[in-house]
Structure 1
Amino acid sequence: MLAGLGLGLSLIVAIGAQNAFVLRQGLRREHVAAVVAVCAVSDVVLILAGVGGTGAVLTRVPWLVDVVRVAGALFLGGYAVLAARRALRPAALAADAGGSRAGAGAVVGTALALTWLNPHVYLDTVLLLGSVAGTHGGDRWWFAAGACAASLLWFTGLGSGARVLRPVFARPAAWRVLDGVIAVVMATLAVSLLVGPGGITG
């Protein structure tokens, strides 16, 4: 279980599309519980699927990962454009910070897309975690429990802990920097999905 917790945290605690979105929603205090629930539950489902043997199926149908890769790259590219627009246009930033809230459906939909249209999730969570869990034999489900706990702890901590940074983001300039970083992260991930080794970077 500790091995699963450690590997799960090592894979999830990184700057990525999903974490950037959870952080931003936490700072805005906008549908945080729903976003955390979507990300954590999705991770748990994928981890259990990987330990249950779904990873073996993905290796037999590589074209499915390619479809997700292209769709994910397009979505991330579009999200990068929106974040860059907020960072570069003060008017868009002011409207965003002035109390304009996205609907719960739109926020949950974005969280789902950032999770399920990201091929890295399948490579790390389903294939890698599933393969490592298999080396633990009959204890593989304890390993899976540790990995699931890592996701629950991380997303809950990131979403609820973001409020600590709110004093920093009381200044509009800080939001512009954050959105600029998010735009770069999303754009980089989108490009890496299309031009990385085999179309996907590890």
Structure 2
Amino acid sequence: MPASLATALTGLAFGLSLIVAIGAQNAFVLRTGLRGRHVLPVVAVCALSDAVLITAGVGGLGTLVDRYPAVLVAARVGGAVFLAGYAVVAARRAWRPTGDVLTDEAPAPGRAGLLPVLGTALALTWLNPHVYLDTVVLLGSVAGTHGDLRWWFGAGAVLGSLVWFAALGYGARLLRPVFARPAAWRVLDATIAVVMATIAASLLLGL
């Protein structure tokens, strides 16, 4: 196997190990996929954002982030505030269901337009300091150990991100029978609220 391909596969595996976890961004993509609305734009925004961050990390931006910790502090505060607000919204949906139901014939009802949905996806990505620590600092540092092949490592990580978000967004349809019951939406929203609140608290406690 060529060294470039082996390095790319290593990057893909490492990228997936960082991104495949229960988090704010993944929870949002899952809910978007379940509703069946704006799936492609959301997947594209998340994947492209990761590609930009990974490229920045491989290019050496991680050293700049380490040098100016105030940037991460500001990101922690901003991210915590946003996630706390999103947790409240999810908790309200769980407490007072909107009547969302999935059937095989149609997606769940909803009035959220494309711009607000994309705005939320961007905020959940760029206001989360864990994203910078994982992609820019950690992944960038590991990529640097591969020398001239670091860009192959980065390309593999970018591919892993794209595959994951596409699988999460479009694979959510496999869970549609489960979400034919309103109670399932309440459980999902309650879970999302807990995840968001937990991440927000961890960001503030990490200051």
Q: TM-score range by the shorter chain?
A: over 0.9
Whether 1:115 and 2:122 are equivalent positions in the alignment is no
Moved over 4 A (4+): none
**2:57 alignment partner in structure 1:** 50
Work out whether residues 8 and 148 of structure 1, in 8 Å CA contact, stay in contact via their aligned partners in 2. yes
Give the deviation of 1:100 after TM superposition: 2.3
Q: 1:65 aligns with which of 69, 72, 97?
A: 72
CA RMSD of aligned residues (A): 0.9
**2:42 alignment partner in structure 1:** 35
The AA in structure 2 aligned to 1:129 is L
The AA in structure 2 aligned to 1:189 is I
**1:133 alignment partner in structure 2:** 143
The AA in structure 1 aligned to 2:45 is V
| Structure 2 unaligned regions, length at least 5 | 1-7, 102-107
Partner-residue secondary structure (3-state), 2:174: helix
**1:9 alignment partner in structure 2:** 16
Give the deviation of 1:143 after TM superposition: 0.4
| Structure 1 unaligned regions, length at least 5 | none
TM-score computed with the length of structure 2 as normaliser: 0.92
1:114-136 CA distance string (max 9 Å, x none): 00000000000000000000000
Work out whether residues 40 and 155 of structure 1, in 8 Å CA contact, stay in contact via their aligned partners in 2. yes
1:78, 1:114 → 2: CA distance? 11
Alignment of 1:1-202 (within 5 A): 1-90=8-97, 93-94=98-99, 99-196=109-206, 199=207
Give the deviation of 1:89 after TM superposition: 1.3
1:101, 1:169 → 2: CA distance? 18
2:196, 2:202 → 1: CA distance? 10
The AA in structure 1 aligned to 2:177 is P
Q: Percent identity?
A: 71
2:96, 2:180 → 1: CA distance? 18
Q: Greater helix share, 1 or 2? A: 1
TM-score computed with the length of structure 1 as normaliser: 0.94
1:99, 1:166 → 2: CA distance? 14
Work out whether residues 30 and 101 of structure 1, in 8 Å CA contact, stay in contact via their aligned partners in 2. no
1:89, 1:163 → 2: CA distance? 24
Paired residue total: 194
Partner-residue secondary structure (3-state), 2:37: coil
